[in-house]
Amino acid sequence: MENKECKTRAEKLINFNPSTSLRTGFGLWFFAFSFQFLFIFGLCGCSSVMSPYVISKRQKLPYDAGISDSYYKIELKRSGALDVLPMIHKPESELLSQSRSVVASFGQEEDGYKSWFNMVAFDEVKLTAKRKYFFLVDEKVKRLPGKRRRFLIELKRGIMFDSQMVLEKPVLDELRVSEDAGQAARLRQVLRNLRKDISELGPDVDTPGSDSQVLAVSGMLINQTFGTILHTLDRSPGLAGKLGDSGGVNFDHISFGKGTVRMVVEDDIVTVKIRVGVFVGAFEGRHQRSDEKNTKNNH
pLDDT digits over 25-47, tens only? 333 333 333 333 333 333 333 33
Residue 236 in this model has a pLDDT that exceeds 80: yes
The Cα–Cα gap between 132 and 117 comes to: 11
Helix/strand/coil for 88: helix
The Cα–Cα gap between 117 and 96 comes to: 10
CB 259 within 8 A of CB 274: yes
Higher pLDDT: 170 or 188? It is 188
Provide the pLDDT confidence category of residue 54 given band limits of 50, 70 and 90. Answer: very low
Per mean pLDDT, which of 12-16, 25-29, 231-235, 283-287 is the most reliable? 231-235
